[in-house]
Structure 1
Amino acid sequence: MTQSSVEAVIVAGGFGSRLLPLTARRPKHLLDVGGVPFLEHQIARLAEAGVDHVVLATSYHADQFRPVLGDGSRWGVRIDYVLEEEPLGTGGAIRNVADALGDDPDGAVVILNGDVLSGHDLPAQLEDFRTPRDGQRVDVSLHLVEVEDARAFGCVPTDGAGRVTAFVEKSDAPVTNQVNAGCYVFRRDVIDTIPAGQVVSVERETFPGLVAEGRLVVGFVETAYWRDVGTPAALVGASRDVVLGVAPTPAIGAAEAGARVADGASVHSDQVGGGSVVMKEATVEQGAVVEGSIVMTGAVVEEGARVTDSVVGPWARVGRDAVLQGATLGDEVVVSAGAHVTDERVDVGTTVPAGD
């Protein structure tokens, strides 16, 4: 491994419980966002930043990743897959993949949470990471974003030189509006200091411990596009932003018509827009309206139905003149003709009767 090489780890082992029922049969990291599996956005961005080796730390439905992402060659990177047998926390998951990384102690390793869509300048963060402070090398760099109301987040204050001074838990009186955005750059040998085979949190244990030891942990503050894609509403919002070009991503371009329709989909309506996505083998019949929504593989939206800000899960069916508003349908759900579903999640295989 050469000094100039950059590696990355994507932590993709979570169960995705906040995204149920969409994650009942698949990991959240492979859900469609803007017309492609979510991880394709992250891998394409890593490749664009000069990363040449990506390690996926997987657990839940781990067998589904390789058939979708392959060996990474289509992005010009090499992908390795490492299984996490038991949940080890954010730090434990990173330590668990150490043997798959190179052995250059000063090498840069980008760590991404596998559910964050970000447009921040990763090459600039890497350059900042490589810049010593008063002759001291940077051990860890954290991407920080500024939010209007930080009460719902743990805060990360920094001093005038960008050095992280503390990690402060959620509070009604936040000490700063800077919060952790889920992208880190680790010095390779720092990863080896995380205890192996143990449940470890980087946010609560690793980072505070490094600061207490006097290690140089810095914040890279940038207010670019950033979204935690952890709920159905956030998934729909992120997908819409990708399609409309609001969320910059090298994985795909913005859709000129305001919607993205996959090859093999059948769309017979001229009222599909607002950043919607219609995936392969899906059907939208004449007179149906699909606005700002995701219609997943094999799903059917029948004539006269109206789907707004919703997710229609794989092989689900929305009946004639039915209305979905802010709804999330699991696999193979059937919404009967004329039914209304508003701000609800419908479990896999359920039938919604016309009276609802």
Structure 2
Amino acid sequence: MPASDARACAVLIDPGRRVDELSRLLGRIPLPLLPVGGKPLIQHWFERLSEAGVREVLLLLAHLPEKTRAFVGDGARWGLQVRSALVREDAPLAKKLLHARTLPEGPVLLADMHLLPVQGFAEWWHKYADVDCVLVPDDQRGRDDPWFAAPALGDRRPTVRREACGEDVFRPIISPRALWQANMDLLDGVIEDPLPLGFETEPGVRIANHCRVDDKARLEAPCIVGEGSLLGERCRLRRSVIGASVIADEHSEVRDSVVFDHTFIGSHIELNRVLASGHMLYKVDEDVLMFISDHEILSDTKRPHMDVVPLSHRVAAASLLLLLSPVLLGLVLWLSLRGREPWLRETLYIETGWDFSGERVFRPLKVRSLNVRHPVRRKLPWLWHVLRGELALTGVTPRHSPDNALPIWVSDGPWGREGVITLADVAGASMLGEESDATYIADAYFQATGGGMDFSLIFRWLLSLFKRAGMN
């Protein structure tokens, strides 16, 4: 710490969308959560501050503060005590810093959050043992300069040092291209990350927890893959950063790019020198931001978890039961005449959450299925469980064993809940008692590109019920 008998503090200021060029990327993500090396920008700050001996941090949040607060929490995982306050983006800086009056005595660092701390931050901070306040100004502010806001900290801080933000200590992230360049420099080792994401599977390739990487996928160093992501068959990565909960479908290729969290990349899609965030695509070389409306090219995988089966699902299931009851009765009669037991008793395991030890908790659901291999016909009686609110009409494939757990990218929130009608059924990836990666990939693809109650999927499901007569 700069002063051994005092408690060092930091005030990090979110400029919101006032960084004009960067505002194009901030439609659904706050600036502190912009990804750098697979981690939010604010996490780099916390890791550097903790390393330098800072123990208390005040965040002045402007844009989408609830998302930043949800990620940061109380800061205990970084050994910090983090508080936050909501401020207006257009408020004068002196007014924003009124929240800093409650900080304890000790050295204070004032900085904008769009500055990325890089090499030598701890050494730089330790130079100011006799300084009460260190200001790192934003050169873009003009007259609204932190130097003039110093009196807002109170009379108890007589010694103020204004420090230029050179790129040897801070990297300004003021444009999409600057964000892309910071990620590339981190991959290339120009920027050092003392706590890199995940674990190194081979030199230069880092993969976080709960990822699914197909055996035929090709990862060329350097690259980073975030938590809970899926890389499909023959997917190829080269010098790229992949965020958390990303799906890269089969034969997709990502080169020299940064993919934000919760992004879906369609089959055979090539991304080269871009920032990809949901439906948005920023081309670095052309400085162009595009919106991709086609869900099969680029999409958002983050969808609300469905805890309660909606009324629309139940009404649709009742209609299907009325429509298909002659088919169901005919199949039962046909099986009986052939001397086969028409019913199978199965147990499905519905995930209900996590226990205190971090293990998944399941609720067993007893169902009756038709004794046929055809996945659609077999599950016709399951429509009754939609009426009872135990299964969704459309969703992901229910599992038949608690040991055969759904991948984290299917079960952990964004993918909805277990359903009767799944894309895996229509695609032929789901058979009696067989649950494979192909099943989950098909389900994840459906949820990422459509989600909800998809009437086109229901129509395809009905067609397969009548047309695929060879699978009995």
User: Which of residues 290, 294, 299 is equivalent to 1:351?
Assistant: 294
Question: 1:266 aligned to 2:212?
Answer: yes
Q: CA 1:225–1:8 in 2, change beyond 3 Å: closer, same or farther?
A: closer
Q: Secondary structure at the match of 2:227?
A: coil
Question: 1:5 aligned to 2:7?
Answer: yes
Provide the residue aligned with 2:222 in structure 1. Answer: 275
4+ runs deviating over 6 angstroms = 220-223
1:264-301, Cα deviation, whole Å (9 max, x unpaired): 22222553234333223332222222222233333322
Instruction: Note the C-alpha offset of 1:77.
Output: 1.4
Q: Secondary structure at the match of 1:307?
A: strand
Provide the residue aligned with 2:192 in structure 1. Answer: 248
- Where relative contact order (Cα < 8 A, 6+ residues apart) is larger, the structure is 1
Count of aligned pairs: 282
Q: CA 1:298–1:325 in 2, change beyond 3 Å: closer, same or farther?
A: same
CA distance in 2, matches of 1:63, 1:96: 21
CA distance in 2, matches of 1:79, 1:98: 13
Question: 1:59 aligned to 2:62?
Answer: yes
Q: What is the identity, as a one-letter code, of the residue corresponding to 1:52?
A: R
Q: CA 1:332–1:79 in 2, change beyond 3 Å: closer, same or farther?
A: same
Q: CA 1:108–1:51 in 2, change beyond 3 Å: closer, same or farther?
A: same
Conservation of the 8 A alpha-carbon contact between 1:273 and 1:290:
yes
Q: What is the identity, as a one-letter code, of the residue corresponding to 2:78?
A: W
Q: Secondary structure at the match of 2:16?
A: coil
Provide the residue aligned with 2:265 in structure 1. Answer: 318
RMSD: 3.8
Question: 1:46 aligned to 2:49?
Answer: yes
Conservation of the 8 A alpha-carbon contact between 1:293 and 1:310:
yes
Q: What is the identity, as a one-letter code, of the residue corresponding to 1:110?
A: L
Q: CA 1:86–1:329 in 2, change beyond 3 Å: closer, same or farther?
A: closer
Q: What is the identity, as a one-letter code, of the residue corresponding to 2:205?
A: A
Q: CA 1:330–1:223 in 2, change beyond 3 Å: closer, same or farther?
A: closer
- Which blocks of at least 5 consecutive residues in structure 2 are unaligned? 151-157, 298-472
Instruction: Note the C-alpha offset of 1:40.
Output: 0.9
CA distance in 2, matches of 1:240, 1:70: 29
1:207-259, Cα deviation, whole Å (9 max, x unpaired): 8xxxxxx9764657976354222333332332343345432233436955323
Looking at secondary structure, tell me which structure has more helix per residue.
Answer: 2
- Computing the radius of gyration over CA atoms, which structure comes out larger, 1 or 2? 2
Conservation of the 8 A alpha-carbon contact between 1:328 and 1:345:
no
Provide the residue aligned with 2:100 in structure 1. Answer: 98
Q: CA 1:38–1:304 in 2, change beyond 3 Å: closer, same or farther?
A: same
User: Which of residues 220, 223, 239 is equivalent to 1:292?
Assistant: 239
Instruction: Note the C-alpha offset of 1:25.
Output: 1.2
Q: Secondary structure at the match of 2:190?
A: coil
Provide the residue aligned with 2:465 in structure 1. Answer: none
Q: What is the identity, as a one-letter code, of the residue corresponding to 2:43?
A: E
Provide the residue aligned with 2:86 in structure 1. Answer: 83
Instruction: Note the C-alpha offset of 1:82.
Output: 1.1
Q: What is the identity, as a one-letter code, of the residue corresponding to 1:350?
A: S
CA distance in 2, matches of 1:218, 1:114: 17
Conservation of the 8 A alpha-carbon contact between 2:30 and 2:63:
yes
Q: CA 1:243–1:115 in 2, change beyond 3 Å: closer, same or farther?
A: same
CA distance in 1, matches of 2:284, 2:230: 20
The within-5 A match list for 1:214-229 is: 217=161, 219=163, 224=168, 226-229=170-173
Provide the residue aligned with 1:119 in structure 2. Answer: 118
CA distance in 2, matches of 1:279, 1:13: 26
Q: Secondary structure at the match of 2:127?
A: helix
The within-5 A match list for 1:88-167 is: 88-93=91-96, 95-102=97-104, 104=105, 107-131=106-130, 138=131, 141=134
- Which blocks of at least 5 consecutive residues in structure 1 are unaligned? 132-137, 145-152, 156-166, 170-198, 208-213, 335-339
Question: 1:327 aligned to 2:274?
Answer: yes
CA distance in 2, matches of 1:126, 1:327: 34
